Amino acid sequence: MPNKTTRRTFLKRTAGSLLTLLGLSSGGYYYANKIEPSMLGIEQIKIEHSLIPKSFDGIKMIQFSDTHIGFQYTLSQFKKLANRINQIKPDIILFTGDLMDEPNKFKEINQLLPILENLHAPLGKFCIFGNHDHGGYGSDLYRNIMEEAKFEVLLNQSSPIRLMDGSRIYLLGIDDAMLGQPDLLAALQNVPNHHFTILLSHAPDLADNALEYPIDWQLSGHSHGGQVKLPFIGALIKPPFAQKYPEGLYTLGTEQKLTLYVNRGIGTTRLPFRFLSKPELTIFTLKSEKA
Ligand SMILES: [Fe+2]
């Protein structure tokens, strides 16, 4: 009997310290389930490049990603986020995929549409497909709602952003790597040489392919920044195609040919937790390197 108690106590202690280590004590659980998922980190990134025309100086782009509405993230939270985005007065809004967690099961599309419609950006709203936008035969649902909300869906295609003086940069979007058919060559088809190009790809690890093409920056999501990260251990789960580049800024190639930015996303999926990886909105400000 004493042995059993000792063993039980030992097991309890081990489990207890493991749970503490994992940050899943009751306080940690509450924090990861309720507090951190409702936080918002606003990251400010400068995009400086010699191909950016001078007239683009100060143009502001907001990227949001991976809302996964309907899993843990709610419509009322999304409405607040949309108001926040509008307050920042972006010139361009970019959504990098995974709008609804399960598009075919989501019953409140009628309430989601006006929130997306109400997002305002004078130079355009653009989006791409994430794996969840294709999941459960959701592709048409996603495309329809985004187009109705006046987002341009970039599915292996490009769109120029033109200013009044005729100067241009190009936005490119490719399909999702897991459940779609990304085609960089198709996306580049109408892009002339020597123009600044920004690629939207849900999956960050496709940057290794993008490096082979005339692409200057890539913006991605998908990883959720790991969603749950542990001190000294890092991300618990990294999804396929977000293994190599899970979060933040990376420069690839010689002479920093391609810059990749990976946004941590807004919502959660699979597990209703975020830990050391709070939701993110990214504001990019363009700057010409020309004197
Ligand atoms: Fe996602």
CA distances from 67 to 4, 14, 38, 72 (A): 48, 36, 12, 9
Ligand 1 centroid, distance to 69 Cα (angstroms)? 10
Ligand 1 centroid, distance to 210 Cα (angstroms)? 21
pLDDT value, residue 27:
81
Ligand 1 centroid, distance to 137 Cα (angstroms)? 16
Task: Say if CB 98 and CB 138 are below 8 A apart.
Answer: no
> How many Cβ atoms sit within 10 Å of the Cβ of residue 249?
11
pLDDT value, residue 8:
52
Ligand 1 centroid, distance to 118 Cα (angstroms)? 23
CA distance 143 to 95: 13
Ligand 1 centroid, distance to 264 Cα (angstroms)? 9
Ligand 1 centroid, distance to 195 Cα (angstroms)? 30
- pLDDT tens, N- to C-terminus, the chain (291 residues): 344 445 555 444 544 444 455 555 778 888 889 999 999 999 999 999 999 999 999 999 999 999 999 999 999 999 999 999 999 999 999 999 999 999 999 999 999 999 999 999 999 999 999 999 998 778 999 999 999 999 999 999 999 999 999 999 999 999 999 999 999 999 999 999 999 999 999 999 999 999 999 999 999 999 999 999 988 888 888 999 999 999 999 999 987 899 999 999 999 999 999 989 999 999 999 999 975
Ligand 1 centroid, distance to 91 Cα (angstroms)? 25
Residues near ion ligand 1 (Cβ under 5 Å): 66, 98
pLDDT value, residue 234:
86
R_g of the chain, CA atoms, integer Å: 21
CA distance 5 to 131: 49
Ligand 1 centroid, distance to 66 Cα (angstroms)? 4
pLDDT value, residue 24:
59
pLDDT value, residue 157:
98
Q: What is the pTM of this model?
A: 0.91
Ligand 1 centroid, distance to 265 Cα (angstroms)? 7
Of 215, 286, 199, 219, which Cα lies nearest the Cα of 257?
215
Ligand 1 centroid, distance to 3 Cα (angstroms)? 48
Give the pair of three-digit tokens for residue 182.
């990304």
Ligand 1 centroid, distance to 109 Cα (angstroms)? 19
